[in-house]
Amino acid sequence: MLALLQTDPLAFVLVALVLMLSLALHEWGHAISALWMGDTTAKEQGRVSLNPLKHFDLIGSVMILLVGFGWARPVPIYPPNFRHYRVGLFLVSIAGIVINLLIATTLALILRWMLDAGYLQNPQGFLRVLLQAAVVAASVNLNLAVFNLLPIPPLDGSKILQSFLPLRWHPYIWRLEMNPTYVIVAMLLLLTVFRQPLGNFLSAVRTQFFGLFGL
């Protein structure tokens, strides 16, 4: 992302706008699915919204710019309010990931269409900017989906896994997620010690993903 800012500021602005909307859609997915499952916590705090400012997290946004993956401000949920606890926990947790995958897939399909239509032969001007922005935005949305699938509290993947774990384990996991010291240490480890292997894994996933579309 920072390299894009140096080489093409206009493309960077377009990608930033797409990512702000993508993060908002990710958190909106959690909020609206929680509401559908009977929990009004997010609605009461104004999080059933597509306004990116409602979901903005400074550190998570900076991480996206620096390393290509990050997070928005987590949507508050209270799983005991779900009509079906395990089903609700699973669906609410996976909702944001599904949205990011849909965005990445939509952008990849558009790029495939552009390739078939011959628009990618020698793109010039604003078309080149759109192409570059679409590639980066698709990649980062895919990164967000895969990153959030990691079964590490407080990421979405941990709650997806939690929906299958014995109920007696759940209070310990919730307390762990509420511990700010743990959250800071976990995120620092992901962004330092595990940054290189995680980056390599994400790169491999991107290669496979775009390969599915012949890109």
Instruction: Read off the tokens for 118.
Output: 């011959």
Residue of 27, 70, 97, 143 marked catalytic? 27
Residues 91, 95, 97, 100, Cα dihedral to 10°: 160
Helices 195-212 and 180-191: crossing angle, nearest 10°?
70
Distance CA 101, CA 98 (A): 5
Residue type, 82: F
Q: Catalytic: 27?
A: yes
SS3 content of the chain, % helix, strand, coil (to 5): 75, 0, 25
Enumerate the active-site residues: 27
